[in-house]
Amino acid sequence: MRENSLRALVDSGASNNFVRQHSLSKLNFEDVDTPRSVLEVRLATGATVRIEKRVVRV
């Protein structure tokens, strides 16, 4: 059992789900070794940002 916890709302109909790197580090989640890639994400404001795609083991 982990000492810390994270409450999250996961949108099962979404293409992707997102979490801050700080939260992953704090909870000691480990990266899965996968090729790195970049995602273009459109925000609710209409702006588009580019982020690094990562996979973690939870």
Write out the chain in H/E/C secondary structure.
CCCCCCCCCCCCCCCCCCCCHHHHHHCCCEECCCCCEEEEEECCCCCEEEEEECCEEC
- At residue 49 the predicted structure's pLDDT band, cuts being 50, 70 and 90, is very high
Residue 28's pLDDT is what?
A: 82
- At residue 2 the predicted structure's pLDDT band, cuts being 50, 70 and 90, is low
- At residue 21 the predicted structure's pLDDT band, cuts being 50, 70 and 90, is confident
Question: Looking at residues 14-42, what average pLDDT do you find?
Answer: 83
Domain range list for the chain:
1-58
